[in-house]
Structure 1
Amino acid sequence: MSLPIKAFIASTPNSYKLSIFLELLKLKYEVVPVDLSKNDQKQPWFLKVNPNGKVPTLHDETNDIKLGESGAILLYLADTYDKERKYSYAPGTKEYYKMIEAAFFQVGGIGPAVGQSIHFKLIAQEKNPMAIERFHIEIKRLLTVLEEYLKRNKEEYNSEYLAGSHLSIADIVHIGFIPYLKVCDVPLNDFPGVLKWAQHVLEHPEIRKGFTIPRKSTLWDDNLASLD
């Protein structure tokens, strides 16, 4: 049976943002697996949905909307389906803008830095020590900033989350990248605030389930276990 909400995803940190949020919202959705090893994301059938050829991508037939870019997708889902604002904040509020700030920090900072680190360490055929060191240092700097976000939010809201008083998009966009820090040789024990936050966020069963969609990953199992 075809469902109106279709999630085009692969087993990647960015894709997990979508699967996790859909699980938290308890929405019925159809998973459209995208095989990156076969370059599915560059095929005409996929480019019709997302001309940028990237995952995750959302097609909500209910509202006839197709979206790429994980941040835009999560904001759309929040505005459309999180009417009680359990995992987001109402636009115009202080908490909303702090959530957006933290989410954009991930999209423009931690996400690209972790991606580049993994590329130069594991994927690139020719190793570039300068590039490897550059992104290693940058990840540690960004985690220091994340520690400060957590500290300030704790002081203002007495909360263990990144923005405001409850779990939100700010946390969802970050958590998918945390297990990959082990791959980047960045010990999370060096950042106790981030470690405590990650352990707290992973207490949500919907988030754990999101990491198994579209398929369960042994890599993720190993690295998530290291956070328990």
Structure 2
Amino acid sequence: MIEVYSWPTPNGHKVHIMLEECGLPYTVHAIDIGAGDQFKPEFLAISPNNKIPAIVDPVGPDGKPFSMFESGAILVYLASKTGKFLPKGDREKFEVLQWLMFQMGGVGPMLGQAHHFRVYAPEKIDYAINRYTNEAKRLYAVMDKRLAHSRYIGGNEYSIADIAIFPWLRSWKNQGIDWDDYPHLKGWFDEIAARPAVKRGVEVLADRRKPLNNDKAREILFGSEQYKRH
């Protein structure tokens, strides 16, 4: 039984979806990032960057317990463990991995900044809002162009690249996106959203999520608490 330490965010949902798609048994432990659970010593022991998600696999590569943090690395690990959603041939595998890195280095960070400055920032800074909204639109256009010529993000088969990207696009309204501008991406999004495992994955801990509308949660997530040495 894989132990999952998570919260209902896009990065958390990536791993929830992957586990559901693979059919692996797992137990979820809620890490309430608005309450500061990510700074507790027992969580830092498996996720030293104080970010969710993290997992502990009681039967790791050597048969012993193995912990991992970083959602993209977890997807690669679970794909390796199960032989699913990552092609075995080098050409196809690296094609998928480059799009996984695109999500990790671009889609996640840039859309996260768009969310922050459009929704969460205590003051509205036009420069920041415009910069990250425009970058969100640019990334959506990259994916739309890709999907004009490929059924899935990573190639002809559904893969961890799709699993990684999908949860980040669920908040398209907060990113200033008009789906009419990205018809190929919208078709892909609707297809992924309809998958039974994806439906189950995005419901994991969904009832625990609440608006970040209090100063304490904002301070924990965006203020000085992030920069203390825990």
Taking structure 1 as the reference length, the TM-score comes to 0.86
1:71 aligns to 2:72 (yes or no): yes
Aligned-residue sequence identity (percent) comes to: 33
Return closer, same or farther for 1:218/1:52 CA change in 2, 3 Å cut-off.
Answer: closer
Work out whether residues 114 and 181 of structure 1, in 8 Å CA contact, stay in contact via their aligned partners in 2.
Answer: no
1:24 aligns to 2:21 (yes or no): yes
Q: Structure 1, unaligned stretches of length 5 or more?
A: 154-159, 220-228
1:118 aligns to 2:118 (yes or no): no
Work out whether residues 17 and 198 of structure 2, in 8 Å CA contact, stay in contact via their aligned partners in 1.
Answer: yes
Give the aligned residue type for 2:90: T
Deviation per CA, 1:115-149: give whole Å up to 9, x if none. Answer: 10111112111221100000000011111111122
Give the aligned residue type for 1:89: P
- How many Å apart are 1:164 and its aligned residue? 2.5
Q: Identify which of 114, 139, 155 aligns with 2:136.
A: 139
> Equivalences for 1:1-228 in 2 at 5 Å?
3=1, 5-63=2-60, 64-81=65-82, 83=83, 85=84, 87-90=85-88, 92-153=89-150, 160-216=151-207
Q: Aligned equivalents of 2:199 and 2:71: distance in 1?
A: 19
Greater Cα shift, 117-126 or 205-214: 117-126
Give the aligned residue type for 2:12: S
RMSD over aligned Cα, in angstroms? 1.5
Deviation per CA, 1:70-97: give whole Å up to 9, x if none. Answer: 110000000012x2x3x2211x521111
Following superposition, which runs of at least 4 residues in structure 1 exceed 3 angstroms of deviation?
216-219
Return closer, same or farther for 1:31/1:103 CA change in 2, 3 Å cut-off.
Answer: same
Q: Aligned equivalents of 2:209 and 2:39: distance in 1?
A: 26
Return closer, same or farther for 1:204/1:217 CA change in 2, 3 Å cut-off.
Answer: farther
Greater Cα shift, 26-35 or 161-170: 161-170
Q: Aligned equivalents of 1:200 and 1:162: distance in 2?
A: 12
Q: Secondary structure at the match of 1:8?
A: strand
Aligned length: 206
- Higher RCO (C-alpha under 8 Å, 6+ residues apart): 2
Q: Structure 2, unaligned stretches of length 5 or more?
A: 211-230
Q: Aligned equivalents of 2:177 and 2:207: distance in 1?
A: 24
Q: Secondary structure at the match of 1:37?
A: coil
Work out whether residues 57 and 68 of structure 1, in 8 Å CA contact, stay in contact via their aligned partners in 2.
Answer: yes
Work out whether residues 103 and 169 of structure 1, in 8 Å CA contact, stay in contact via their aligned partners in 2.
Answer: yes
- How many Å apart are 1:169 and its aligned residue? 0.4
